[in-house]
Each structure stands twice: as C-alpha cells, then as structure tokens.
Amino acid sequence: MSKVILVVDDSASVRQVVGIALRGAGYTVVEANDGKDALTKLDGQKINLVISDVNMPNMDGISFLKEMKQKANYKFTPVIMLTTEGAEEKKREGQAAGAKAWIVKPFRPEQMLQAVSMLI
C-alpha cells in the first residue's frame, strides 16, 4: 500500500503541481486548503508525511504544525514546509514547531520528491 501524503496549500495551482509530482512517484495524496481544513483531514486516516504552506487564511502552517504535534498519533510525523517565506527567522520558527525541512517556492518537483524520500 502506498504512503499517504497530506498537501496543505491555499493555492490550487501549487497543490496541483505537488500532487502530480507525488502521484507520479507512487504516493497517495490528500489535499487541504488551509490549516483548519488540514486538521480535519488528519483524523480517520493514516498520514505518513505532511507538506504544508506557511501563509494561509484561517490557520497558517506553523499554527497547524503545532496543533498537529499535539495529537499523539502525529507527534513524530515528518513535516516539510513549502513556502515563499525565505527569512531565517521564519525558518527557525518552523524548526521550533517541529518541521523537518523547509523548501522555498518556486520549487523543483524532483527536489521535493528527494526530500520526501529522505523523510519517509
């Protein structure tokens, strides 16, 4: 059974690019529009890895990450932040919240897949 990856981004085009690359590599993809939507997607299925944007309406990526890490079954699930934010301060914030990798957009699908394969 293929690994399940949750893709959280308010931009439909980015979700599409990420989803296509991941599906092409044999992963199962679950999509969410923002942090709140993503929290609802965590329940009822096993997510092996999360790729999340940072700046999103309703709930941003860092807040979502913190909420997710509160859940016992997602405490050790790897998270990749995929964002336009390139500031070191934000990266440190993401690292403190429990992110394993930080990718600055625009990204190359193969590099993202490489990061994914390194984490799961």
Partner 1 sequence: MSNSYSSGNSTASYSSPTTAGNTSLLGISVAVGVIAIVALGAIFSGSLSFVWKLLLALAVVAAAIFTWIQASAALKQVEALQAELKRAQFEQQLTQTYKTLLENYQQLLKDLLPTWQRQTELARHQLESSITELVGRFSEIHQRLQAAVASSSTTASSMKGDTGLGGVIQFANAELGQITQTLRAAMEQRDDLLTEISGLSKITVELSGMSAEVAGIASQTNLLALNAAIEAARAGEYGRGFAVVADEVRTLSTRSGETGARIGKRIEQVNSALQTTLDRTTEYAAQDSNRLSKSEGSIAQVLEQFQHSSESILQSAHVLEQESAAVQSSVEEVLVNLQFQDRVSQILSHVTDDMEKLVGAVADQETRLRHGESVTLIDIQEWLRAIQKTYTTLEQVDVHHGSHHSKTPSNSEITFF
Q: Provide the binding-site residues for partner 1, judged by CB under 8 A.
A: 9, 11-14, 16-17, 20, 24, 54-55, 83-87, 91, 94-95, 99-112, 115, 118
Say how far apart CA 114 and CA 39 lie, in whole Å. Answer: 25
CB of 73 to partner 1, least distance (A): 22
Strand 28-32 versus strand 49-52 pairing type: unpaired
C-beta of 39 vs 99, nearer to partner 1: 99
* Minimum separation from the CB atom of position 43 to partner 1 (A): 26
The SS3 assignment for 2 reads coil
Give the pair of three-digit tokens for residue 86.
Answer: 């390139």
Count of other CB atoms within 10 angstroms of residue 34: 19
Min CB(28)–partner 1 separation in Å? 17
Which residue number, 21 or 43, has a Cβ lying nearer to partner 1?
Answer: 21
